[in-house]
Amino acid sequence: MCGIVGYVGPNSSLDVLLAGLSRLEYRGYDSAGVAVLDRAGHLGTRKRAGKLVALLDDLEVEPLRDGETGIGHTRWATHGRPNDGNAHPHLGDNGKLALIHNGIIENFSELKQELLDAGETFTSETDTEVAAIMVGREFRATGDLAEAMRRVVARLEGAFTLLVMHEDVPGVVVGARRNSPLVIGLGDGENFLGSDVAAFVEFTRRALEIGQDQIVTIRPDSVVVTDFDGNDVEPREFEVEWDASAAEKGGWSSFMAKEISEEPEAVANTLLGRVVEGAIHLPELDPIGDDVLASIDRIVVIACGTAAYAGLLGKYAIEKWARIPVEVVLSHEFRYSEPVIGPRTLVVSISQSGETMDTLMAVKYASQAGARVLSICNTQGATIPRESEAVIYTHAGPEVAVASTKAFVAQVTALYVLGLHLARVRERLSAHQIAEQVSELQQIPAKLADVLVSSERIKQLATWMADTRSVLFLGRHVGYPVALEGALKLKELAYIHAEGFAAGELKHGPIALIEPGQIVFVVVPSPRDPLSLHPKVISNIQEIKARGARVIAIAEQGDTAAIALADEVIPIPLAPPLFEPLLAVVPLHIFGMELASAKGLDVDQPRNLAKSVTVE
C-alpha cells in the first residue's frame, strides 16, 4: 500500500524522489519521507506525518543537502500510528543506513526481541525498523549491501518490498521483494526503482520486471538481479505504454474527474485490436489454448471491491453467451472455503493494480490446486499477471484516484470480450451472433460520451444532497452490481452510509429502511427488456414512493413510466440489457464524486484507503 522510489544517477536525487512520490501518493498518504546521500557522502533524511505536501513544506523551510543516491516513501500505516517517528525511512548501522518498506513483516515481534536482547534500541513502533537494524548489522559483518539484504530477507516472514542505501556505498540502492511490488526503470547513466512505473515514467519508459523473492542492485551504469540465494536472474524488459502526461490531471479539478471523463476511452482502448471484422481476437489466451477453454466446466472469478462487481457483470454475460457456470468469490474468502477446483476450472482474477494481496494469494492458491488461471489486469509489470497463465490487459491507462472508475468499465469490457471468445470456442454463438454483440459493444464509447453530458445535472443534485446521511441503491439483474458499485463509491468518497440492494429483495427486509425523505437511486431496466423486469422495478419505485422515498431513476431515454414516477430521471442511451450497466454506472460515479466534493472532501485520496491493497 505504500509507495516506494529509489534513484542512482547524476541528477538531483531529491527532484527525482519527490516527483516519484507525488505520482505514487495515491498508494498511501498518511506520511512521507526521503533519504539522500549528499555529495560529501553524508546520509540525510527527512520525514513527516500527513500528505506529501507536509514533507515538501518542511523541505522548503529547511532544505536537505542533495546528492546522487536516494530513496523515498509514502506510507499507509500498518504497524504504528501515522506520525513523524513511524514514517519511513528508518535507520540502521548508527544512522549510516536508510531503509524503506512496503508490506508487513509478520515475525517482527520475535526479531525485535532478539535485537533488543542484543542491545539494539528502537525509535519507532514499526515492523520496518527491525529490518533496518538487521540489514545494518549484516552490512557491518559483510561490507556488502546486497549480501546483507540476502541474509536478512531469509529471516523475514510476510510480504515486503525493501529498499536500502548506505553511506559507505554511494551510488548504490539495493531492493528486495516478496509478494509486494517493485519494478526497475532503466535510464541512460541513471537507474530507478519504484512500486510501479508511475514512480519514474517521467524519466524513462524502459522498465524491467522483478520476480518474487528477488534482489536487485542498481548503480548508475548497472542493474543486477539475483534470487534470494544469490543466483543471477535475467529480468524481462518492457516498454511502459503511457507517458507522464497520462498521469497528470490535465486541467481537471481532480484525478477522479479526469478518470470519469476517460470512461468512454477506457472501453474503446480495451476493445482496440481485439475486434477484427466482427470477430474477437484474443491471442493473449494462447498460453491456455482454445482446446482447454472449450473443455472447462466452470469459471470462478476472484476479485475485491469494485473489481468484484465487474466480475458479477461478467457472470451474467459469460453464462448467457458461453453457457458455462460462473461463480464470483471475493478473493479474501476464496481459499478459506476450500474451493472445489481442478484442471477443468478456469479461475479468472480481476485487478486494476495487479497487486491486491488478497487476489494474489487466491491466484497462487488456484494455480497450486491445478486450476487454469487467467488474469484481467490494468497494470503492466504487476505481480498478479506474472503468477497467471494468461492475462487480458485492460487499457484504461493509469488510474490515480484511489476509488476505481474507468478501470471498472474496462474490466467489464474485458470480461465481455472473454465471454464472446468463450462462446465461439464452445460453439454457443454463431459468428453472426458474435458480430452483433461486438457491434453493440463498439457503440458503447459514443453512448458513454452522451451519458457524460448529464454531469452538470448530477452535480446540482449532489450539491442539494450534501447533508444527506443515507442513500440506498436498487437494481435488478445486471442493475444489481451497478447498485452495489454506486453504494460503494458513495461510502468511500463521501463517507455516507449507503447500501446497494437487489430490487427484488426489497420486500424481504430492506423496505423497512424507507422513511419520508430517504433518497433511493434506482437502476431501471429498459422497457424493451426481454426479461420483462421493467414493470417489476417500476412497481418497486411505486412501493418506496408510497412510503415517502425520493427516487432518482437511472433509466433509458424516453422511459415514460420512470419519468412519471421518479422525482428525477437521469437518462441513458438505448443499449441491449447486458450493456446497460456500462452506461448506468457512470452517473453513479459522478454522483459519488460530486457529493464528496460538495462536502469539501478530497475525492482522489479518501481517508483510510490506499489505491493498491498489498496487505491481507
Residue 328 parent element (H or E):
strand 326-330
* Total residues belonging to the chain: 616
- Shortest CB 523 distance to ligand F6R, Å: 18
CB of 488 to ligand F6R, least distance (A): 6
Q: Max Cα separation, the chain?
A: 79
Check residue 359 for interaction with ligand F6R (CB under 6 A). yes
Rounded Cα gap, residues 456 and 394, in angstroms: 29
Quick one: 139 or 365, whose CB is closer to ligand F6R?
A: 365
**Region for residue 470 given its phi and psi (left: phi exceeds 0; alpha: psi -120 to 50; beta: otherwise):** beta
Residue 232, helix vs strand vs coil: strand
CA distances from 197 to 201, 227, 230, 313, 439 (A): 6, 22, 25, 30, 34
Figure out which of the listed residues 254, 351, 380, 614 binds ligand F6R, where binding follows CB under 6 A.
351
**Minimum separation from the CB atom of position 610 to ligand F6R (A):** 9
Secondary structure of residue 430 in the 3-state scheme: coil
Burial of 512 (0-12, 13-18, 19+ CB in 10 A): exposed
Q: Which is nearer to ligand F6R, 190 or 355 (CB)?
A: 355
Backbone angles phi, psi at 248, to 5 degrees: -95, 160
| Bridge pairing between strands 345-351 and 298-303 | parallel
Find out whether the peptide bond into 89 is cis, omega within 30 degrees of 0. yes
Task: Report the residue number, 78 or 352, with the smaller CB distance to ligand F6R.
Answer: 352
Q: Shortest CA distance to 552 belongs to which of 474, 491, 495?
A: 474
Contact with ligand F6R (CB under 6 A): which of 31, 195, 352, 597?
352
Q: Residues 437-476: x/- map of binding to ligand F6R (CB under 6 A)?
A: ----------------------------------------
Q: Cβ of residue 291: shortest distance to ligand F6R, in angstroms?
A: 30
Give yes or no: 304 in active site: no
The three cell numbers of residue 10 are 547524476
Selected range binding ligand F6R among 90-98, 346-354, 443-451, 569-577, rule: CB under 6 A: 346-354
Q: Which is nearer to ligand F6R, 572 or 585 (CB)?
A: 585
Active-site residue, selected from the candidate residues 2, 258, 406, 447: 2
Of residues 389-418, those binding ligand F6R (CB under 6 A)? 403-404
Residue at 377: amino acid letter: C
Task: Give the residue closest to ligand F6R by C-beta.
Answer: 305
Closer Cβ to ligand F6R, 13 or 614, answer by number: 614
Nearer to ligand F6R, 65 or 497 (CB): 497
Separation of CA 437 from chain center? 29
Q: Closer to ligand F6R by CB, 55 or 257: give it.
A: 257
Cβ–Cβ under 8 Å, residues 68 and 171: yes
Cell of 575: 443499449
| Total residues interacting with ligand F6R, rule: CB under 6 A | 15
DSSP string, 363-383: HHHHHHTT-EEEEEES-TT-H
Q: Which is nearer to ligand F6R, 240 or 555 (CB)?
A: 240
Phi/psi for 92 (5° steps) reads -140, 180
Binding mask 315-344 for ligand F6R (x = CB under 6 A): ------------------------------
- How far apart are CB 167 and ligand F6R at their closest, in Å? 37
- Which residue in the set 13, 214, 270, 356 belongs to the binding site for ligand F6R (CB under 6 A)? 356
Task: Choose the catalytic residue: 96, 112, 599, 611.
Answer: 611
Restricting to residues 270-299, which ones interact with ligand F6R according to CB under 6 A?
A: none
- HSE on the CB side for 395, CA within 13 Å? 13
Nearby residues of 315 by Cβ (< 8 Å), 6 or more positions away: 301, 326, 327, 328
Q: What is the dihedral of CA 280, 285, 290, 295, to 10 degrees?
A: -120
CA distance 470 to 544: 15
For the bound state, the minimum distance from the C-beta of residue 26 to ligand F6R, rounded and expressed in Å, comes to 10
Catalytic-residue membership of 611: yes
Here the cell at position 401 is: 484516484
Q: How many other CB atoms are found less than 10 A from the CB of residue 61?
A: 6
Residue with Cβ nearer ligand F6R (196 or 556) = 196
- Binders in 25-54 for ligand F6R, by CB under 6 A: none
Q: Which CB, 254 or 437, lies closer to ligand F6R?
A: 254
Task: Give the integer Cα–Cα distance in Å for 472 and 522.
Answer: 8
Chain residues 301-320 in contact with ligand F6R, contact rule CB under 6 A: 304-307
Q: Nearest CA to 358 among 407, 298, 303?
A: 303
The site string for ligand F6R over 496-525 (x = CB under 6 A, - otherwise) reads ------------------------------
Distance of CA 388 to the CA centre of its chain: 17
Query: How near is the Cβ of 531 to ligand F6R at its closest, in Å?
Result: 28
Minimum distance, C-beta of residue 612 to ligand F6R, in the bound complex (Å): 5
Provide the mask over 581-600, with x wherever binding to ligand F6R is found by CB under 6 A and - wherever it is not: --------------------
The candidate with the shortest Cα–Cα distance to 23, out of 200, 182, 183, is 200
Q: Where does this chain touch ligand F6R (CB under 6 A) — which range of 351-359, 475-483, 518-526, 551-559?
A: 351-359
Quote the least distance from Cβ 396 to ligand F6R, whole Å: 11
Q: Which of 152/613 has CB closer to ligand F6R?
A: 613
User: Least distance (Å) from ligand F6R to the CB of residue 400?
Assistant: 12
Task: State the minimum distance, in angstroms, from the CB of residue 430 to ligand F6R.
Answer: 34
Stretch of 168-176, 348-356, 502-510, 530-538 contacting ligand F6R, by CB under 6 A: 348-356
Query: What's the gap between Cα 192 and its chain centre?
Result: 22
Stretch near ligand F6R under the rule CB under 6 A, chosen from 53-61, 196-204, 300-308, 502-510: 300-308
Residue 172, phi then psi, degrees to nearest 5 = -135, 130
Give residues 480-499 in contact with ligand F6R (rule: CB under 6 A).
488, 492
C-alpha 409/C-alpha 415 separation (Å) is: 10
Q: Given candidates 36, 423, 553, 613, which one binds ligand F6R under the rule CB under 6 A?
A: 613
Supply the residues annotated as catalytic: 2, 611
| Residues of the shown chain interacting with ligand F6R in the complex, contacts defined by CB under 6 A | 304-307, 351-353, 356, 359, 403-404, 488, 492, 612-613
